[in-house]
A and B are shown apart, each in its own frame.
Chain A
Amino acid sequence: MNSFHAKVINIQSVENLNIITFTSADTTLKMMSLDLNDKLKKDAKVLLTCKPTAIAIAKNITGELSYSNQIHATIRAIEMGQLLCCLQLHFNGVMFESIITSDSAKRLKLQINDKVTALIKSTDLSIERIL
């Protein structure tokens, strides 16, 4: 399972809807959530998770993207299937996976050691557990 160590730096709330801002190795991450656990306060340390299938990949991006989470990572391994492609990515000392279509991987001409941006919507990021 993808796991990122992160620290809570801000919590914005409207009724029971919240957007939590984290920092993880100089990268700012945002997560949308309903009711929060009482232990989740500013400075709390957490493990964040995201399904590999919910992580999009961008290369050489220009222009603005709505994705709240843009993680600069390096490709360490590529497993190319007939339809899908599984990427092993390295960020902040941890490995995480992204599953995209093989067609997209070919279109982006993805290679090992490529610097890419992993894109995650704030609704797809979740807390695996509070540390």
Chain B
Amino acid sequence: MINIDITKELHGANGAMQLVFQAAIKKGEFVALSGKSGSGKTTLLRILAGLEKADGTISVEQKEWLHADKSLPPQKREIGFVFQDYALFDNMTIEQNLLYVAKDTKLANQLLEITELSSMKKRYPHALSGGQKQRVSICRALMKRPKILLLDEPLSALDPAMRTKLQNELLLLHKEFGTTTVMVSHDPSEIYRLANRVIVLQNGKIINDGSPKEILLKTQGSQKFSFEGELLDIKKVDVIYIAIVAIGQQLVEVVVSSQEAKNLQVGTNITLSTKAFSPIITQI
């Protein structure tokens, strides 16, 4: 069990704000931290890692990491930290990068095996793709057999296919090593696939805490199929109207009646929803 009860003054774009975070995280949980940029997610990870000071307490399996004025130094905290940029030692081979953290060849080989990097272990980081570098960073973070694995948007710089592959490997490693993982992520599919709990931060405070389905499923009334978009145009055709809506990178058309069209204003943000029973799914 990890008990966190901390506060810290932050100076963000909107002036000073207080980061207040109180949560108990069970051993083996995979927690996604979500929320707009500047909400305090990365600071929280850095406080957990001991890289930033905070007031309050952090205890991990009955061991005090932070209590009153006593703060366990980062190197004694048994954490693995993976950033968006890979932060590898360029003058060391992949294998050396891993063994630098802990002289455990067996573990290094096991990690490289899981992430399909065994054949590349004598290579240097500059000879690797972005996806491969990030796998090395993840392996390196696990070399200390950390109690907590902290991931700060680890996959956001990778292309979608590589991201999916690494998500699967992360999940495999998380289960294999029984670590507790805290990951900052904005990607709903990533959170749904990996996390069993989502904590949403806003202006330094927890505004939502629950299962990914509870938190991420957008609903409008009883309608499960709901998206936010922008109303681009409404055109009259015969006795009906056709609304053109931009959702993400796509345009969709929706038929509305003249009564429905009356209350709609082009250029505004709208919610587009339908029942879960209507959409047709086709494999691409």
Q: Which residues of chain A have a CB within 8 Å of any CB of chain B? A: 1, 31-37, 40, 49, 52-53, 79-86, 97, 99, 123-124, 126-130
Contact = CB atoms under 8 A, between A and B. Distances in A.
A99 B240 contact: yes
Nearest to B222: A127
Contact of B238 (A32, A36, A83, A123): A83
Contact of A129 (B221, B260, B277): B221
Given A1-B263, A123-B277, A123-B278, A82 B222 contact: no
A126 B255 CA distance: 17
A103 to B, nearest CB: 13
Nearest to B239: A81
A94 to B, nearest CB: 12
Contacts of A32: 277
Contact of B239 (A34, A84, A127, A130): A84
Given A99-B239, A99-B240, A123-B278, A86 B222 contact: no
Given A79-B258, A124-B278, 20 more contacts: A1-B259, A31-B222, A33-B275, A34-B224, A34-B276, A37-B219, A52-B259, A81-B238, A81-B240, A83-B238, A84-B238, A86-B240, A97-B257, A99-B257, A123-B275, A124-B275, A124-B277, A126-B221, A127-B221, A127-B222
A130 B221 CA distance: 7
A33 B222 contact: yes
A79 B239 contact: yes
A129 B255 CA distance: 21
Interface residues of B, number: 18
Interface string B201-236: 000000000000000000101111000000000000
Contact of B221 (A49, A79, A97): A49
A97 B221 CA distance: 20
Name the 4 nearest CB pairs between A and B, nearest first: A81-B239, A81-B238, A127-B222, A123-B277
B257 A126 contact: no
A36 B257 CA distance: 28
B259 A36 contact: no
Nearest to B219: A37
A34 B275 CA distance: 9
29 contacts: A1-B259, A1-B260, A31-B222, A33-B222, A33-B275, A33-B276, A34-B224, A34-B276, A35-B224, A36-B222, A37-B219, A37-B222, A40-B222, A52-B259, A53-B255, A53-B257, A83-B238, A84-B238, A86-B239, A97-B257, A99-B255, A123-B277, A123-B278, A124-B275, A124-B277, A124-B278, A126-B223, A127-B223, A130-B221
